[in-house]
Amino acid sequence: MQLEVNVIDAFTDTVFKGNSAAVIITDDWLSDDLMQSIAFENNLSETAFIVADDKGIYHIRWFSPSTEIAFCGHATLASAFVLFKKNPTAASIKFSAKAVGVLTIVQTETGKIQMDFPNKMPEKVYSIPDSLLSGLSVAPVDVYRNNQAYFVIYNAESDVLNVVRDNEKIKQLAPYDVVVTCQAKSTEYKNYDFISRYFWPANGGDEDPVTGSVHTGLAPLWAERLEKNELVAYQASSRGGVLDCAVVGDRVFISGNAVQYLTGVITVEE
């Protein structure tokens, strides 16, 4: 069996930046084992698998190299990029996933792809796990948590950029990952409202280059702290990525660019 695979760099307009995702569209679902094996072989943050129903809704599932992921923003952006390219007259695309329901995706006038996600505002944590405190070289100022991750607030950009983590201790927080973040204040980051880095050794990797899903928590958190609902975020990984965020009630709109890296064919046995 031969399957078309597209590899897209998401949340960037430059190849080799942002976060890479593989996108595979099939008429019917492959077996879970095969999808996991393909994701492992691809060895990207996520591989997205898509199956359309008879109503034109695209059902989507996301796999890291080690496990199925409930919700992935950058692979959703990559998938929308592929589908808009295949259907250039489409005004919008609807995805459906168990964890987040139906997602409506549109292309803005600037050419960015805008995704409509549930608001995942985290709640403040008053009893901080020892494995989180000992797993990061810089002590938190505040800690929050939603159903995806612990949100560690720092005062300085240097703390976010230079923090060293102990992956074995961070793994003990499973199923939660860890995002470290602070307000952007320096000249270097003058175009952004906040920056972050995302660590997920428990669910698929070391440090994720750009993480759309966690910004459904970061955006409302910083919207509240900065008293503004439209924000520009920078994920300060080695590849880096830019996310435009808008918080509107119980929804978070996240927009970004994407660029094609590869189109190819893989051969597998079902």
Answer yes or no: are the C-beta atoms of 11 and 256 closer than 8 Å: yes
> Of 92, 86, 82, 115, which Cα lies nearest the Cα of 7?
82
Tokens representing residue 187 in the block: 């000249």
Tell me the C-alpha to C-alpha distance, in Å, between residue 8 and each of 12, 39, 87, 261. Answer: 10, 14, 17, 5
Catalytic residue positions? 46
Answer yes or no: are the C-beta atoms of 177 and 198 closer than 8 Å: yes
185 φ, ψ (degrees, to nearest 5): -125, -25
Which 8-state DSSP code applies to residue 174?
T
C-alpha–C-alpha distance, residues 95 and 251, integer Å: 15
Residues linked to residue 117 through DSSP beta bridges, in sequence order:
252
Tokens representing residue 173 in the block: 């927080």
C-alpha–C-alpha distance, residues 159 and 181, integer Å: 9
For residue 130, the SS3 value is helix
Answer yes or no: are the C-beta atoms of 193 and 184 closer than 8 Å: yes
Residues linked to residue 269 through DSSP beta bridges, in sequence order:
none
Tell me the C-alpha to C-alpha distance, in Å, between residue 101 and each of 80, 159, 212, 249. Answer: 16, 36, 16, 17
Answer yes or no: are the C-beta atoms of 268 and 34 closer than 8 Å: yes
